[in-house]
Structures are given as structure tokens and as C-alpha cells.
Amino acid sequence: LPEQEAFDIEYWLLEEAKLQRMPKPKPLVGKVALVTGGAGGIGQAIARRMLAEGACVVLADIDEDALASVTADLAKAHGKDHVRGVRCDVTDEASVIAAYGRAALAFGGVDILVSNAGIASAAPIDETTLALWNRNQSILATGYFLVAREAFKLMKAQGTGGSIVMIASKNGMVASNQATAYCAAKAAEIQLSRSFALEGAPLGIRSNVVNPDAVIRGSKIWTGKWSEERAAANKVDEGDLEAFYRDRSMLKRSVFPEDIAEATYFFACEDLSAKSTGNILNVDAGNLAAFTR
């Protein structure tokens, strides 16, 4: 190489190395995320991930005790100025509207919605009462619609786009034993997300779905009655449930709340997923791709 060219390359390599050593700005600094069900297992992990990337987070949950304790934990770790807990019932329109009002008051708006508040219920078809059916539809299908509609309105008014992430379920794609009402409501969430993607695209609002498979550890859903019923439906001992789900997966790995948080962060972050909308990311260790047993 001619001397000047060799010098240029060396100079460029040194500059590049310097850049690598400089702390990188966190991708979600200046963004506000509202996480419904933020006091639960998956919601909490998502909130932590968003905070770690620099976002301010509003946890919206109906369980006031859990909300107070999770909000205090997160505020201790990430600073009081970055976290708020707001009591919110996603089935109640006024409560949802008020939660966005509180978020706007605290942080000036909302750029990311993670719709995640949920329940689980199990019953064979002939024991699925109208009340059980309606409970699933109102918290999951209607609740997801209400929180996303209010996010959509706010993001439209802000004029700066936004990201909606719906935490649906593998059960929105395939049926599961004794979970008819839940499966139907989770399928509705997936279809909702596509509609929000379509109407949101001209406004720079993206909408995507993360589908967890069974997340046993760290989730309130997988405790008590539900876990008992899942064990019975799958004919395994309750203590063996985690191993059951892990062993039947293609990767032979368990899915944890942090895995769902990582996938959610992907869709929340414009730098990573600016060109993804109306999409679904299954975090299922391969379960949906093929029958492995």
C-alpha cells in the first residue's frame, strides 16, 4: 500500500476503536412505555427491560398491592422519576382513559403500549359458562382493544408514531385442552393487532404480537388453580409441569418472562424493528413449528 493509504487505514481503525469504547446512548431514552398487567410476572419483566433501555414506564394493573410493591422495587432500581404505578381495570373504559391521563401528566405522553394484562381459565367446553366466556372476552379481547384504542388516539394526537405490542399467546394460534374461551379471546387479540397495524401505518404507529408459550416461573397465572388444571389436562404432576413444557419443545428449553421481555423490546425499539408491523413473534422454543411428540 502507498504510505498515505496505510496511514489513512490506521487512523480510521483507531477512530473506530475509540467509537466502540464510547458509551452508546440507550435506545429508549425519551420514550414512555405503558405496560398493562405490569405488576404480574411477564409485565414486570417487560417493564424492567424497557427501563434498562432508558424508557420511562407506567405500570397499569388492577392488583393494587402487587402494583405498589413492584412500582417501589422498580423505582429503587431505576429512579423514582422513571416509574409510575397506576391502578387500572382494562375492562373499564373510564379507568383506561384515566390511566393514559395519569401517564400524560407524569411523562407528557405515551410512545409504547405493551398490552399484557390477562387471566387464564380452564374448563371443558360443556362446563364453559357464559360468565366464564364473558370474563375472558372482557379482560382479554375487549381489554386489549380499549387500551390499544386509547394508545392509538394519543399517539395520533402526538404525531410522532409509536409502537403497540400485544402479548397474546400460543393459544391464539392453536387450541389447547380445556381453554376454549381463552383461546378464542387470544385469537381476537392477534387479529386486533393486525387492524391497528393497518390503520396505524400511515401515522407511523406499528402494532405487533408476541406469543408466549407456557411461562411457568415468575408468573401468577401459573400458580394455584390454573397450574393444577393444566397439570390435570396434560396428565402430569403439577411439580413436573415446567419439565413437561420444556421436554415437548423443539429446543428443549423453558420460556421465562425475560424471554418475552426481550421479544417485546424488539418490537418496541424503532432502531430494531422500524419495518415490522402486523407481525407475530412466537417465543415458544419451537413448539408451534412442528409436532415433536
Nearest distance from residue 116's CB to ligand NAD, in Å? Answer: 5
182 assigned to active site: yes
C-alpha span between 233 and 251 (Å, rounded): 23
Residue 172 in contact with ligand NAD, rule: CB under 6 A: no
CB atoms within 10 A of CB 265: 24
Binding mask 208-227 for ligand NAD (x = CB under 6 A): ----x-xx---xxxx-----
Q: Evaluate whether 114 touches 46 at the Cβ level (below 8 Å).
A: yes
Q: Evaluate whether 232 touches 203 at the Cβ level (below 8 Å).
A: no
Nearest distance from residue 9's CB to ligand NAD, in Å? Answer: 51
- The residue (of 63 and 73) whose beta carbon lies closer to ligand NAD is 63
Q: What is the DSSP string of 167-214?
A: E--GGGTS--TTBHHHHHHHHHHHHHHHHHHHHHGGGTEEEEEEEE--
Nearest distance from residue 20's CB to ligand NAD, in Å? Answer: 37
Residue 91 in contact with ligand NAD, rule: CB under 6 A: yes
**Of the listed pieces 16-24, 58-66, 105-113, 124-132, which binds ligand NAD according to CB under 6 A?**
58-66
**Of the listed pieces 49-57, 112-120, 148-156, 236-244, which binds ligand NAD according to CB under 6 A?**
112-120
Grid look-up 379471546 returns 185
Among positions 117-156, residues that touch ligand NAD (CB under 6 A) are 117-119, 139, 143
Size of the site for ligand NAD (CB under 6 A): 30
Q: Cell numbers for 93, please give them.
A: 373504559
Binding mask 61-90 for ligand NAD (x = CB under 6 A): xxx--x---------------------xxx
Which residue among the candidates 100, 182, 245, 265 is catalytic per the annotation? 182
C-alpha span between 35 and 44 (Å, rounded): 8
Q: Which residues contact 287 (CB under 8 A, 6 or more apart)?
A: 170, 213, 248, 249, 250
- The residue (of 43 and 85) whose beta carbon lies closer to ligand NAD is 43
H helical segments located in the chain: 3-21, 41-52, 64-78, 93-107, 130-136, 143-158, 180-200, 224-233, 241-247, 257-268, 270-273
- The residue (of 56 and 67) whose beta carbon lies closer to ligand NAD is 67
Among positions 16-55, residues that touch ligand NAD (CB under 6 A) are 36-37, 39-43
Residue 114 in contact with ligand NAD, rule: CB under 6 A: no
Residue 264 in contact with ligand NAD, rule: CB under 6 A: no
Nearest distance from residue 54's CB to ligand NAD, in Å? Answer: 23
Residues classed as catalytic? 182
Which residues form the interface with ligand NAD (CB under 6 A)? 36-37, 39-43, 61-63, 66, 88-91, 116-119, 139, 143, 167, 169, 212, 214-215, 219-222
